[in-house]
């Protein structure tokens, strides 16, 4: 296990677009689902590495609002993998001090999965070692749209007026309202796009695109990417002092 990237410059919040499971499996002549299982094992290792690397918040993109377009077999397989994973890992996540949250729209997810998500959130709510957020049936546009809808409802009910609507208020209606914005967004598998991930929250995030397919992304490579982040100069629109 790699030690400390550099605790002083480590990004507090890292978000990861875990891409490349399908290609990883196909390269091995196996069904795509085989890659998703291998990807899930990686998640476990990366979460475990966070405290030593100084990462307090980790947000992972597990299933997008667009991923329903895949074959029924793949979607059903991924959903059953989520159920298996949550059942199997709940105890260990709790014991290792991980606070788990889910973002995304739960409306399209099956009842059994949603109750496992609720249970895990409740069970780990007091944990504070690492904050793991899983984006499941998540889309940035969908999230902002849902937030706008709820804001409109508050105005309709007379609890807010249009003058109350500013960036801060809108952010309070996002799924991520309790989280800081991501400092670094990593995407594996060589694709250089966001695919609708954390659109609002990543306004000033640094991006890192790596060629490695997600099931091959090791804690060592993770540590190297974090080291690279420490060398970047973030300006947030201002000029260097
Ligand atoms: C990412 O891997 C996992 C999900 C989107 C659920 P992919 O399944 O997109 O893998 P590739 O991009 O086809 O290799
Ligand atoms: C993004 O990967 C979604 C997840 C990693 C869950 P995709 O593989 O779905 O993205 P596109 O289709 O290549 O943009
Ligand atoms: Mg992909």
pLDDT tens-digit map of 49-78: 999 999 999 999 999 999 999 999 999 999
Please give the C-alpha separations between residue 40 and each of 27, 34, 158, 216, 235, in angstroms, as whole numbers. Answer: 18, 10, 45, 11, 35
54 phi-psi bin (left φ>0, alpha ψ -120 to 50, beta other): left
The model scores a pTM over 0.85: yes
Residue 240 has pLDDT above 50, yes or no: yes
> Residue 8's pLDDT is what?
57
Distance CA 153, CA 139 (A): 21
| Distances in whole angstroms, Cα of residue 35 to Cα of each of 8, 38, 74, 80, 176 | 35, 5, 11, 14, 28
Mean pLDDT, rounded, for 156-179 = 98
Burial bucket for residue 131 (CB in 10 Å: 0-12, 13-18, 19+): buried
CB 19 within 8 A of CB 187: yes
CA distances to 61, 76, 178 from 209, rounded to whole Å, are 15, 29, 27
CB atoms closer than 10 angstroms to residue 88: 11
Band of the pLDDT at 2, cuts 50, 70, 90?
very low
Number of H helices, E strands in the chain: 7, 6
Binding site membership of 139 for ligand 1 (Cβ less than 6 Å): no
Instruction: Indicate the length of the chain as a whole number.
Output: 241
Which residue out of 23, 38, 109, 135 has the highest number of ligand 1 atoms within 8 Å of its CB and is therefore the one to mutate? 23
Looking from the CA of residue 63, the nearest atom of ligand 1 is 6
Q: Is 195 in the pocket of ligand 1 (CB under 6 A)?
A: no
Q: Give residue 6's pLDDT.
A: 52
Q: Which two tokens stand for residue 131?
A: 């904050």
Q: Evaluate if residue 5 carries a pLDDT over 50.
A: no
Which of 18, 22, 24, 66 to probe ligand 1 with, by most ligand atoms within 8 A of CB? 22
CA of 104 from ligand 2 middle (Å) equals 15
35 C-alpha to ligand 1 centroid (Å): 8
Q: Are 199 and 177 spatial neighbours (Cβ–Cβ below 8 Å)?
A: no
CB 98 within 8 A of CB 132: yes
Q: Does 160 have pLDDT greater than 50?
A: yes
65 lines ligand 1 (CB under 6 A): no
Ligand found nearest the CA of 78? 1
Both structure tokens of 91: 């105890």
Tens digit of each residue's pLDDT (9 = 90 or more) over 175-219: 999 999 999 999 999 999 999 999 999 999 999 999 999 999 999
Q: In angstroms, what is the C-alpha Rg of the chain?
A: 18
Per-residue pLDDT band for 111 (boundaries 50, 70, 90) equals: very high
| Beta bridge partners of residue 58, listed in sequence order | 14, 132
Cβ(215) – ligand 1 distance below 6 Å? no
Nearest CA to 59 out of 229, 175, 148 is that of 175
Determine the pLDDT at residue 1.
43
């Amino acid at each position: 296990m790699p030690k400390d990237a550099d605790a002083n410059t480590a990004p507090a919040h890292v978000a990861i677009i875990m891409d490349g499971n399908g290609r990883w499996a196909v390269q091995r002549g196996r069904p795509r689902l085989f890659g998703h299982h291998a990807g899930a094992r990686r998640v476990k290792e990366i979460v475990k590495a966070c405290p030593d690397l100084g990462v307090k918040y980790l947000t992972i993109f597990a299933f997008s609002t667009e991923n329903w377009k895949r074959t029924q077999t793949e979607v059903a397989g991924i959903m059953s993998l989520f159920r298996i994973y949550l059942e199997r890992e709940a105890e260990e996540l709790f014991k290792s001090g991980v606070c788990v949250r889910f973002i995304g729209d739960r409306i399209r997810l099956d009842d059994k999965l949603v109750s496992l998500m609720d249970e895990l959130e409740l069970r780990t709510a007091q944990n504070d070692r690492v904050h793991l957020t899983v984006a499941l049936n998540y889309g940035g546009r969908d999230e902002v749209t849902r937030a706008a809808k709820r804001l409109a409802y508050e105005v309709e009910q007379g609890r807010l007026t249009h003058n109350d609507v500013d960036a801060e208020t809108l952010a309070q209606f996002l799924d991520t309202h309790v989280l800081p914005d991501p400092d670094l967004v990593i995407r594996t598998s060589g694709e250089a796009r966001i695919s609708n991930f954390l659109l609002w929250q990543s306004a000033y995030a640094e991006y890192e695109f790596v060629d490695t397919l997600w099931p091959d992304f090791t804690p060592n490579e993770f540590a190297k990417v974090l080291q690279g982040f420490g060398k970047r100069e973030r300006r947030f629109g201002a000029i260097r002092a």
